[in-house]
Amino acid sequence: MKTDHFGLGLRAFKRDKSLKPHEYNRLEKRVERLEERLKPAKAPEMDVAVQRQAKELLKLIEPKDPVGLSFERVGQEYDGGYIMAEIAAGDAVAYSLGINRDVSWDKAMANRGFQIFQYDHTISKLPEKHPNFHFKKLGITSPVLAADELTSLPAEFRENGHETCREMTLKMDIEGHEWDVFAEMDTADLQRFRQILMEVHDLNKLHKPFWSRKARQALRNLHATHQVVHVHGNNNSPLRVLGGIAMPQTMELTWLRRDICEFTTCTRRFPTPLDQPNNPNNAEHHLGSFCFS
């Protein structure tokens, strides 16, 4: 097996608590530039090695059917609505990461009695108020990169008194920071969430070693504790072909914790009748069964 010297080096630096976030960011960029000098696939659209790499990653997000559970759409029409499994409220606590101008999902959950802990460092205030909203002008990243306007979920669990919560819900759309969050998140913190709704970005980079390494680690961590039960392609960007596989550049994924129910082979084809295009002016991405086994 080929030794991943870059990956080993970066993990060692992450364990060095004296390394400041901006220094680690610079290091990541340097490693990325070094990897760009390696021999890349001349035609990644048709490269066999890229296909193997794509299948390895995409298998981690193959959907299964949750036995005995149905689905619902929560939030506004088009962009901003999420497909959720209909399960009990649990702790009735939800974390909403990435707000921008849309709190339709947050409001729908708040009206069900959920306390919504909201994070977005790119806005000064929420577009709408609700008694169950708890907003902080902070972004979410991994603990090693937390600084200034960026914090981490473990730190916020402590701050909000949620260290004993085990039945929360997570909604996340943080424009690529999801890979940093989940690549470093431990099992105990992942298992606090019964259901995770997330948008994943930059899948068009999966043939790039640096990006692929981080994304693969993030998805492996998630896959160990949760199972994908719904997929949807964001049609604000076109499909990208890598290794002969056409895939969305951005996807919406619904994960359920593995102890919630049993899972069986997926019988649905995506998009489902509950799905809506993110952009109604563009054609939906038809993903079929989204199976790569």
pTM for the full model? 0.88
> Tens digits of per-residue pLDDT, 81-122?
999 999 988 889 999 999 999 999 999 999 999 999 999 999
Q: What is the mean pLDDT of residues 64-69?
A: 98
In this prediction, residue 226 carries a pLDDT of: 98
- Residues with Cβ < 8 Å from 151, sequence gap 6 or more? 119, 136, 138, 139, 140, 141
Q: What is the mean pLDDT of residues 57-84?
A: 97
Q: pLDDT confidence of 39, banded at 50, 70, 90?
A: low
> Tens digits of per-residue pLDDT, 255-288?
999 999 999 999 999 999 999 999 999 999 999 9
Token pair 């402590």: residue: 158
In the chain, pLDDT over 70 holds for what percent of residues? 86
Q: What is the mean pLDDT of residues 50-57?
A: 95
In this prediction, residue 1 carries a pLDDT of: 36
Element (H, E) at 71: strand 71-74
> Is the distance from CB of 243 to CB of 53 less than 8 angstroms?
yes
Q: How do 193-200 and 168-172 pair as beta strands?
A: parallel
| DSSP result, 191-248 | TTEEEEEEEE--GGGTTSHHHHHHHHHHHHHHHHHEEEEEEEE-TTS--EEETTEEE-
14 burial type by CB count under 10 A (0-12 exposed, 13-18 middle, 19+ buried): middle
Is pLDDT at 135 greater than 70 in this prediction? yes
**Tokens representing residue 160 in the block:** 């909000």
Q: pLDDT confidence of 29, banded at 50, 70, 90?
A: low
Is pLDDT at 26 greater than 70 in this prediction? no
> Tens digits of per-residue pLDDT, 200-257?
999 999 998 889 999 999 999 999 999 999 999 999 999 999 999 999 999 999 999 9
Q: What is the mean pLDDT of residues 20-26?
A: 60
In this prediction, residue 8 carries a pLDDT of: 43
Distance linking the first and last C-alpha atoms of the chain = 22
In this prediction, residue 17 carries a pLDDT of: 52
In this prediction, residue 2 carries a pLDDT of: 41
Helix ranges (H only) for the chain are: 5-15, 21-36, 48-58, 104-110, 153-160, 178-184, 187-190, 209-225
In this prediction, residue 34 carries a pLDDT of: 62
